[in-house]
A and B are shown apart, each in its own frame.
Chain A
Amino acid sequence: MEKNKNHCEELITSISEYVDGSINPQLCLELEKHLSECDNCRVVVNTLKKTIDIYRQQSAREKMPSDVKNRLLARLHLEDYRE
């Protein structure tokens, strides 16, 4: 058991690169093998991915209010150049 826990900690440092797809191939194989056997690490990977996803989704729907842009253009003396 103790040995397995160490293995988890060792591999967890790679999950960030794993979700980015930039992990080196050999480590990737090792990690995926571990994930198929270890529920805990699988949950960490899934929820880490989801964390990134929901932040992206949230900000994709955030738009700058148009009065903020109008004031910016005015401040830059560009208000007459909008298309």
Chain B
Amino acid sequence: MVELQAEPLNLEALQNGDPNEQTRLVELYSDCIYRLALKMLANTHDAEDVLQETFIKALKALPNFEGRSSLSTWLYRIAINESLMLLRKRKLEVAIQEDDFVDGENEDSIEAYQLLDWCCLPEDVFMTNETRAELDRQIQKLPENLRTVFILRDIEALSIKETAETLELSETNVKTRLFRARLKLREELSTYFAEFIEENTNGKK
């Protein structure tokens, strides 16, 4: 989440359609919203669509904004909804019905299988294009309801409470989903780094 700088946004000016204040709103939050959309959709074109739609809708709806949640939470919510709408449309287009995850299902599958400690790999291994592509690929493989929670909490660094507010979920629900998302990503990355280590130690033996 963006730390508000010295001068906080003037809500009244925003609601009166002051273009200078609207521009400040864009400057403050467009990076986060774009990043969120990119993580949700893994496509720069779609992410830009979501970014634009989010701000168009936000500026239009601002006069009715009641301030029950923070402005950023409110923007995130619009962006998430726009992203989900786009994902649904995409799914209809390819006519694939993904098996959406239901909370409480597969309760027994909370197990960690990969026990390789890859934390001590050299830092630059985590920054290669290949690793970055893998990170993106694994986020995309998460079911939507785990992906949204992981992106808001762990990538955008919202608190549990803010994440719950944004998604209109209970905090307990957010924690459960977050745990599943993290464990799942950990599993996948462990597999990935295990292969990496194997490839890089072969021949040295």
Interface residues, chain A, with chain B CB atoms under 8 Å away: 9, 12-13, 15-17, 20, 22, 40, 43-44, 46-52, 54-59, 62-64, 68-69, 71-73, 75-78, 81-83
Q: A15-B179, A59-B39, A62-B38 are in contact. List 8 more A-B contacts (CB 8 A).
A: A57-B127, A58-B127, A58-B132, A59-B35, A69-B26, A71-B52, A75-B52, A76-B59
* Chain B residues within an 8 Å CB radius of A72: 26, 30, 48, 51-52, 55
Is B31 in contact with chain A by the CB < 8 A criterion?
yes
Is B196 in contact with chain A by the CB < 8 A criterion?
no
Main secondary structure of the interface of A (DSSP, over half): helix
Report the Cα distance A62→B39, complex, angstroms.
11
Q: Which among A46, A52, A55 has the greatest number of chain B C-beta atoms within 10 A?
A: A55
Of all chain A residues, the one with the shortest Cβ separation from B114 is A47
Report the Cα distance A72→B124, complex, angstroms.
34
Give residues of chain B (6-35) contacting chain A, Cβ–Cβ below 8 Å: 19-20, 22-23, 26-27, 30-31, 34-35
A-contacting 9-mer, from B75-83, B87-95, B154-162, B197-205:
B154-162
* Chain A residues within an 8 Å CB radius of B114: 47
- What are 18 of the A-B contact pairs (CB < 8 Å)? A9-B110, A12-B111, A16-B175, A40-B112, A47-B117, A47-B118, A47-B186, A47-B190, A51-B182, A54-B131, A56-B157, A59-B155, A64-B30, A64-B34, A68-B44, A71-B52, A72-B51, A83-B27
Of all chain A residues, the one with the shortest Cβ separation from B156 is A59
Of all chain A residues, the one with the shortest Cβ separation from B131 is A54
Task: Give the 4 A-B CB pairs with smallest separation, nearest first.
Answer: A16-B179, A81-B23, A64-B34, A51-B186
Is B185 in contact with chain A by the CB < 8 A criterion?
yes
| CB-based contact A82/B189 at 8 Å | no
Report the Cα distance A9→B56, complex, angstroms.
47
CB < 8 Å neighbour of B186 from A48, A56, A62: A48
CB within 8 Å: A-B pair count: 112
Give residues of chain B (155-173) contacting chain A, Cβ–Cβ below 8 Å: 155, 157, 160
Do A68 and B34 form a contact, CB below 8 Å, given A16-B179, A51-B185?
Answer: yes
| CB-based contact A17/B22 at 8 Å | no
Report the Cα distance A73→B26, complex, angstroms.
8
| CB-based contact B22/A63 at 8 Å | no
Give residues of chain B (112-161) contacting chain A, Cβ–Cβ below 8 Å: 112, 114-119, 126-127, 131-132, 135, 139, 154-155, 157, 160
* Chain A residues within an 8 Å CB radius of B23: 73, 78, 81-83
Q: Which among A16, A47, A75 has the greatest number of chain B C-beta atoms within 10 A?
A: A47
Of all chain A residues, the one with the shortest Cβ separation from B111 is A9
CB < 8 Å neighbour of A47 from B51, B110, B189: B189
